[in-house]
Structure 1
Amino acid sequence: MKFFKKIALLALTGVTALTCGIAVACDKEEETQQSQDGLTEYVYKISVQSEGGFGLKNVTVGLYEGNELVAEKLTSAQGNAYFTQEDDVKPDEYEVRISDLPAGWDLADDSIVYQTSNRAQTDLNVALSASLITDEQIPSSKVYALGDVMYDFSVQTSAGSTFTLSEVLEEKDMVLLNFWATWCGPCKSEFPAMQNAYKSNGANGELISDNVAILALSTSDDQTAVASFKAENGLSFDMAGGSDLVARFNTASIPVSIIVDRYGVISYWHVGSMTAASDFVGLFDKFIGDDYKQTVIGEGEYEGGGEGGGSGSELVKPNVSAPSNADVDKVLNANNQFKSSWDSGEYSWPFVIKTDSNNEKYLLAANQDTHGSYSMLNVEFTAKADDALFLDAWVDTELDADFLHIILDGTLIHSLSGSKASWQSYCAYVFTAAEAGKHTLTLTYYRDSNGSGGEDEVRIKNMRMGTLSDIGTGKVVKGANIFRYAATQYNDPATIADGTKKTQYANYINPVFNETDGYYHVGAQNGPLLFADFMGVTQWNEYDLWQLAYNSYLVYDGMNLSDTVEDHAWATTNSSNGYVPVTEDIKNLLDLIAQIDVEEGAKADETKHLSYHDKEWLEMCAYYSHYGDTEPVGDPTRGVTFAGAIPIYENKINAIDCNMSLVPLGIKHKFTPTKSGVYHFYSLVEKEYEGTDSCYDPQCWIFDENENQIAYGDTNLLAPKHLSMDNFSIHVYLEKDVTYYALFAMFLNDTGKFDMRIDYVGETYRSLTNCAIGPYSYNEVTSETYVPDAITYEYDETFDAYYHDVDGDKVYTAEKDSLLYLDLTNATYLFTTQSLQSIIEQAYLYEDETKRVFYLNGKDYTQTMQKYLYFAELNNDELYGKAVVDRELMDIMLLLTEKYDGFGGIENSWQLMCYYYAYMDLG
């Protein structure tokens, strides 16, 4: 049963690990004196620990009589030093002295004199405290480990600000250091959860971001790339690239999440992605609040989800007794077709027997009221060909968080969650002739570490065998989609050994490509969709494809397939059923993987890995057989992948549903223009919702047919008065009959709905566009902060004495180039909370002119700006409130940015307040 138990727990956590996972696979043994030192008895055990119980290794503990040293020991990995009679130590009152403490650690109270008692077999705890190291330089060879106290550091962020650890810890309870890279799929997959947790409330009811700081450090990207990634994905915490700090940590495998607590101690270290916000919130809650005592969370104490293994919570042991299996069998089915058994793991809760108001008995998962727990029941039975297995379930749980998993012979076949709060009949499986025989069904209800929904309960009753005639219109079960592998029925090893059989499996489905939807189907073009499995155990290998790629096993003819596999694994994590439909590209990828001679130890069974054959790629695939009258399984990556992009249309309102947070970018849609020219993409959030909980802040990215980004839109500072400025507005030139992609997301990767339109504008268009929108970037080579998207401009006093955009060629062309305009009446990307108009009008509230914003370099320019405002308000339409930039206005803007851009006047930061007309055509 261990195999079923492992699969069940992997299913409930959503992970498959190359190393052991949660407690059932390699339970953490309680530390014993025997396991540490091989000793059977001792005189004293001296524990050198933080106030929260973290033990320090290799600390010298000495026992003294007066000033004479009696015995000396180094502490173990758990912080314990054992003294025995063999050390010439007998029960006595020795003074205990501690030395060789790691940097940053000291006695919690140095006035205490620690002393042993005169009784043997006694323990003594020496309490330590830690503090961030601010008065010493970090040693050149220092590489941090769990439990180390950090040296103070400063990092320049991608936004141009300085992140100094000591200053941050004066305001926050903890810092999360996250090591990542833009090329790393698992890294990117955890940012939505991290962002959502950062903006959530903790257990104390306070906003997490009020008590937690996050610094995401890219291990390979420069500041420009990091700034671009941060902006595109709506992330609000600090990020940086190119920092020397990365070299101080072992980041050979990423993502890595490290927590530095308020004392500067590295208190948590996790390798692997965490893709649930609840994982982060639960973790943060351990380190914030006035009652926190310094501690270090070791491996197994908080696994935090992710592919590194773990449950995402601290598993709780059961406190109820299991009913007898005979009584359980009677509740399951009166015909005695099913034989139950309990899981033997110490963390496994039972299902208990309850009686409803109709005096009918059912099984209730006993962990109903316990976060971070699971109930598990195994049921053995025998099935015949065409038998259909049914059961009744009452599921009333937190949607997409707490699941009833139904697992057949180690394969997850159903996951149920949400508040249905009534009995529902399900067809768990339909057995083929090849599957006739004995089977084991495992029922597992897993509750995560926080959050609730409905009554948080799962009930089971009336397990029964039926036939296909029991599925359909007028039946209790109207339809069923049954999971099946694309390769089934192992060939007899003997027939493989003698050469009779050339393939690992006897049966492979017939894959048929459908040109219309771009996917492979089973048996016919309108047959069930064929899915690839990148994140789970397949018929081809006991390790998932992502892990094989992550560990560099998937290299074909010198070509490393890791990046491509990671892209599809990312799509899998966002798929509604954990699989991705097989496109031509995916089929070709799987076929290449099938041809790889994976190194020994990586294959599930080397003896069954025969010579490559053209159907071997199907061993990595699955599908759903459909029965009855309900809908078959459709594309689970609709809106997730480019292949699954949702169509949107010109000249009509398109309803956009950002129902999930996708990193990178957002929900994918596709649009095919009917004629070449400039198209306008814009959202329609009404002005009345601005500043309210209902005010969605949509964003849009446009990609070409090769999936390369060609345009981006966020805030529309020039939105019509009835629309919110949070709308996006994009003008972009598109070619007729070419498919383009529009990706939509809400600010900070929130979820929400909004309407948008696509309108044809004309063959050419001049669009009033921001000269620059930021954010600032940092050049590690020149150590300079700069505006990355600044336009090229020119000033010619002999021409018209105004500033012009010159399209990068420094040659002014009246048709394509534009005057530059300072926006006086709207908020800008430099002054984001108020307009220059309001600043000008409020200036006279200050009798002392030196207090005015436009008092610059010893002179008050308020009256001069009033002149520009007056003429700017004479303009009509979209140029209302905008002043043409001449030499005088440019000089004022340069003085203004020198004083207020936060960096002393970065070149081109004035462009964050200005507009120009961008020319669009085929060129």
Structure 2
Amino acid sequence: VLLNFWFTTCDYCITEFPYMETVYGEYKDKVAIVALDQQDSAEEIKTFKDSFYSTYDVKLTFDMAKDNEGVTSAFGITGFPTSVVIDKYGTVALIESGALPSERAFRIIFDHFSAEDYKQQVVKSLADITPKIKPNVQMPSEDDMYAAFVKDAGTASATIDRNKISFANDPDDEYSWPFVITLKHGAGCDGVDCDGTACGAEKCIVSTNVNYEDSYTQLFMNVTLEAGDVVAFDYFSSTERGADIMYVLVDKKDIYSISGQTDSGTFETCYAYVAKEAGEYEISVIYIKDDSDNVGEDRVYLKDLRICDIEDIDSDTFIYRFAAENENAIGQYTKFPELVKSEVDGYYHVGTAEGPILLANLMGYTRFSGETTAYYIAIDKSYAAEFINYCNYASNASVNGCCPVNEELMQLLKRVARDGDKEYDNAWLEFCCYYEAYYDRDDDGTFEQLEDPIKGLAPFSAYDAILSENGTVTDPEDFPNSVYYNRVIMPRGLLYRFRPTESGTYKITSYSMGGGTNGWIFVNRDLETRESTWLTYSNVYRPSEVNPEDENCYMIAYLEAGVDYYIDIAFYDVYEVGEIKFKLEKIGDEGYHRFTLASPGYFTYIETVSGGYNGIIAGGIEVEKGADGYYREKRSDGKVGSFLYADFTYSTLIFDKSISKMIELEGFNFGKTEGDLYIEYLRSTPAAKLYYLELYLKTLWGEDFDEKYDEYNVDDVVFGVYSGEKDSDGKPTKTAKDEQVLSWLEAAFEDATYNNDTNFVAFLRELWGAEYEEYDATYKVNEVLQGIYHGTGEDFEMIERRDGRNYDTSHGIYLTTSPSVANEYAFRSSNTGEQYIHPVAINSQKIVYFDGDSFFQDPDYQNYVAKRIEQYN
């Protein structure tokens, strides 16, 4: 059994469903899938499943259900989607978090756990059971590789002699795929029936592990270089950005990582290494694929390997250098760079204060040790807490595992070195490295250095926020602050520092063309953990405001002059990549009234006394009930806090429906059980409507029913599958016949001749088959159809409108006995669209909610309402 935990608006959940369904069709006699959704209603899940085919051209046949029993919580699921495999012995054998967007992933799972010779075992991840694919191709001979890869090979113009370079795959690794020789055809040519002449194809070498997840292609070259030689080659990448990556290593040290689609559409140059000393160097190129998507061609092409001069470098080039060199006979290094501390960024630099930043490799193997890391040496020491802060920065850094060295980190590294049993003065530099720059971008004799790899990750490396004059920046494209996310960062987001020169109320507004955004403001008063210094959380923009589809956010806070604040705006989805812009404006002096969220909306769960689980909101403000019966914010400064307001009009981060919509759907009507509501829901499902339509069409078409039914593709049309021309999104449009079927569908549903209790029961008998009697005993269908419901009692009632007044039919008064609802009501004027908040001073256990026009101010009407409330009490 595969339990899949998901929800209807989870993009990654939706991404994996077509692959899951395809493979499930092959294994459904051996495998069961139950997709459990804790967040959405049964109705929403059913609608999602029914409509999936029309949107994604895949009909979902595995079971989907609402998780009413806390199974999601019982498994401790915190990320979606997550798949849990229960093997044939009833053991939870695998918990795999994250989407599995390939058929191969599900085929591996089903193959392994449904095998006849399966032996019970618990595996940590899919990778543990993924069979490695052995290459089915061989690397060409070294001479052929030389001829195909080295620029001008075999001519006097060649810069690398054949006797000064060797080529190899790893002979001891049976799973290492080789690079092979190919032609890279020109733009628009697929290579079919083309010898390369017409399209200008170029001879090159290419990776071979295309479309094989968890695989790698390798090429090892030993090349003899002179001091000052630059090794270069051209590459073309067509891979999944940030996931399927080509690494360039020199003497087993990462120099470059390249992924995604080559921006120019043509080959670009990689300057792989600059030799400081003459000697033989190992240069490796490794293309590693992860276990998910295959994007683009899923290949990297290489050509024109050559040696050139430093003056030939024409793009940013940074070469890895160790900070400790020349190891002596007793294992100590004797050559170290001159270090200068910069007064600008607080880091140590090599050579001058403007030279390369000195980096400490905290998470990987170094010259200090090839068996352990600085992190593991420090983890159980008295200074671990301080050191781990830097390790967190290093783990999120753009240079993997490395952190710039400031004064505090230098002193910590010295302690780590001593605890690692190396006592000489410069032993700490064995953890360190730097990237030497070789491109003079402005041709002025200076080199643009590698940017701080933890820029924005720490308070001391935060970007500086730009303040705009209120109202002067109106076009979101002109928002002056910009942050680009190209990798996962946890804790989420990059920091912008802002120190107001004037106390007042400030507003921060985001703009993103990508996914939805969140925002936070932190205060620099002991900013060790972002949670402890949380000042304010973002509001999501309402529909019709700035770029509403992408859920941009804003924050408003009172900020004091001279205090450092840190603005953090990030994508709601931590895996999202792209640019976010924001503007910062001062909008007032002493204060500003606005609605904000009482909680950021994170969920956690608590176990009930009966063993079930209840969702609770974690985080947000504290509240207290006043003597007047109203709930307010409980402030830490002792001041009287704001009233709490219930938002009846809009959905929130907690629920996907507004309170008014929940009331309309009878969500608070506890006179009906979920079973009662389910029976009412079934009556209007596409399947029920199709049943009524068939009765209608049999009357309309008579003996021609079967022929006409096929001619009009009735089944497809009812379930949203049309047969017209495809629109700009590639989806078929409706034909005239499709429109006619939909017209008949509406007519049949509205006609009591077809949509009546008798036919509905007949439909349920067909739907439930042999299990009808069992379902009927559970749901008491006939009682529900007669208006006899099975809940615990009415929670609210609608009070009729006063006769003779011309009110909109949606207006009325709701009374509730729920003690958890605030003693306030909101209503929206249908004329002006303005929103009013008005407290109602009645028994705190009896709440009244008005929904109507400004007629409620009419004294006569208020007297009428008071009498009705009195009668209700």
Instruction: Give TM class, smaller chain.
Output: 0.5 to 0.7
The yes-or-no answer on 1:595 pairing with 2:418 is yes
Deviation at 1:416, TM superposition (A): 2.4
The yes-or-no answer on 1:624 pairing with 2:435 is yes
Instruction: Report the TM-score when normalising by structure 1.
Output: 0.57
The aligned residue for residue 424 of structure 1 is 268
Residues in 1 aligned to 2:432 and 2:120: alpha-carbon distance in whole angstroms = 37
Residues in 1 aligned to 2:564 and 2:146: alpha-carbon distance in whole angstroms = 58
Deviation at 1:262, TM superposition (A): 6.2
Whether the 8 Å contact between 2:167 and 2:220 is mirrored in structure 1 is yes
- RMSD (Å) for aligned C-alpha atoms: 5.1
1:289-311 Cα shifts (integer Å, max 9, x gaps): 99965886999999657xxxx8x
1:820-872 Cα shifts (integer Å, max 9, x gaps): 5444433457764134288479999x999998999845855687736999985
Whether the 8 Å contact between 1:803 and 1:885 is mirrored in structure 2 is no
Match of 1:638 among 452, 455, 467: 455
Distance 1:173 1:542, change over 3 A: same
Match of 1:792 among 604, 623, 635: 623
The aligned residue for residue 570 of structure 2 is 745
The yes-or-no answer on 1:445 pairing with 2:260 is no
Residues in 1 aligned to 2:656 and 2:383: alpha-carbon distance in whole angstroms = 46
Whether the 8 Å contact between 2:350 and 2:356 is mirrored in structure 1 is yes
3-state SS, counterpart of residue 700 of structure 1:
strand
The aligned residue for residue 837 of structure 2 is 882
User: Which runs of structure 2 are paired with 1:435-834 in the superposition (5 Å)?
Assistant: 436-471=278-313, 477-491=314-328, 493=329, 496=330, 504-543=332-371, 545=373, 548-549=375-376, 553-554=377-378, 558-559=381-382, 561=384, 564-565=387-388, 568-569=391-392, 571-575=394-398, 578-597=401-420, 609=422, 611-613=423-425, 615-630=426-441, 631-651=448-468, 652=473, 653=479, 654-683=481-510, 696-705=515-524, 706-707=526-527, 708=530, 709-716=533-540, 724=548, 726-749=551-574, 750-760=576-586, 761-771=588-598, 789=620, 791-796=622-627, 803=630, 805=632, 807=634, 816-827=640-651, 832-834=656-658
Distance 1:575 1:299, change over 3 A: farther
Amino acid at match of 1:826: Y
The aligned residue for residue 30 of structure 2 is none
1:10-45 Cα shifts (integer Å, max 9, x gaps): xxxxxxxxxxxxxxxxxxxxxxxxxxxxxxxxxxxx
Deviation at 1:596, TM superposition (A): 0.9
Residues in 2 aligned to 1:755 and 1:852: alpha-carbon distance in whole angstroms = 53
Deviation at 1:704, TM superposition (A): 1.2
Whether the 8 Å contact between 2:362 and 2:394 is mirrored in structure 1 is no
Unaligned 5+ residue runs, structure 1? 1-168, 177-194, 216-235, 247-256, 472-476, 497-502, 599-608, 686-693, 895-923
Distance 1:891 1:526, change over 3 A: same
Residues in 1 aligned to 2:592 and 2:260: alpha-carbon distance in whole angstroms = 50
1:436-484 Cα shifts (integer Å, max 9, x gaps): 222222232333344333333333344333332433xxxxx44522111
1:256-304 Cα shifts (integer Å, max 9, x gaps): x99433646546569xx99x96699965564469996588699999965
The aligned residue for residue 227 of structure 1 is none
Distance 1:519 1:809, change over 3 A: closer
Q: Give % identity.
A: 24
Amino acid at match of 2:409: I
Amino acid at match of 2:434: Y
The aligned residue for residue 201 of structure 1 is 16
Instruction: Report the TM-score when normalising by structure 2.
Output: 0.59
Distance 1:520 1:204, change over 3 A: same
Whether the 8 Å contact between 1:389 and 1:466 is mirrored in structure 2 is yes
Whether the 8 Å contact between 2:483 and 2:579 is mirrored in structure 1 is yes
Unaligned 5+ residue runs, structure 2? 25-32, 39-65, 77-81, 155-160, 185-195, 442-447, 474-478, 670-679, 681-784, 802-811, 816-822, 850-873
The aligned residue for residue 322 of structure 1 is 139
Distance 1:386 1:277, change over 3 A: farther
Whether the 8 Å contact between 1:260 and 1:268 is mirrored in structure 2 is yes
Deviation at 1:876, TM superposition (A): 12
Distance 1:283 1:882, change over 3 A: farther
Residues in 1 aligned to 2:180 and 2:122: alpha-carbon distance in whole angstroms = 28
Deviation at 1:680, TM superposition (A): 2.5
Amino acid at match of 2:226: K
Q: Which has the higher contact order (CA 8 A, sep 6+)?
A: 1
Distance 1:530 1:835, change over 3 A: same
Residues in 1 aligned to 2:272 and 2:303: alpha-carbon distance in whole angstroms = 13
Residues in 2 aligned to 1:721 and 1:350: alpha-carbon distance in whole angstroms = 53
Whether the 8 Å contact between 2:650 and 2:657 is mirrored in structure 1 is no
The aligned residue for residue 343 of structure 1 is 170
Whether the 8 Å contact between 2:813 and 2:848 is mirrored in structure 1 is no
1:492-517 Cα shifts (integer Å, max 9, x gaps): x1xx3xxxxxx711211122222222
Amino acid at match of 1:740: Y
The aligned residue for residue 846 of structure 2 is 891
Residues in 2 aligned to 1:175 and 1:407: alpha-carbon distance in whole angstroms = 40
User: Which runs of structure 2 are paired with 1:329-368 in the superposition (5 Å)?
Assistant: 329-331=146-148, 332=150, 333-334=153-154, 335-336=161-162, 337-344=164-171, 345-354=173-182, 357=196, 361-368=203-210
Residues in 1 aligned to 2:274 and 2:491: alpha-carbon distance in whole angstroms = 39
3-state SS, counterpart of residue 669 of structure 1:
strand
Residues in 1 aligned to 2:658 and 2:641: alpha-carbon distance in whole angstroms = 29
Amino acid at match of 1:702: I
Deviation at 1:383, TM superposition (A): 2.1
Residues in 1 aligned to 2:399 and 2:67: alpha-carbon distance in whole angstroms = 28
The aligned residue for residue 252 of structure 1 is none
Deviation at 1:317, TM superposition (A): 0.8
Q: Would you tell me which structure has more helix in proportion to its own residues?
A: 2
1:603-641 Cα shifts (integer Å, max 9, x gaps): xxxxxx4x241x222211111111133443212333444
Amino acid at match of 1:647: D
The aligned residue for residue 409 of structure 1 is 251
Whether the 8 Å contact between 1:535 and 1:569 is mirrored in structure 2 is no
Whether the 8 Å contact between 1:717 and 1:826 is mirrored in structure 2 is no
Residues in 2 aligned to 1:238 and 1:741: alpha-carbon distance in whole angstroms = 41
1:390-426 Cα shifts (integer Å, max 9, x gaps): 3333433332233332222222222222333533333
Q: Structure 1 residues 667-676 or 786-795, which shifts more?
A: 786-795
Whether the 8 Å contact between 1:534 and 1:579 is mirrored in structure 2 is yes
The aligned residue for residue 22 of structure 1 is none
3-state SS, counterpart of residue 15 of structure 2:
coil
Whether the 8 Å contact between 2:135 and 2:177 is mirrored in structure 1 is yes
Deviation at 1:542, TM superposition (A): 0.8
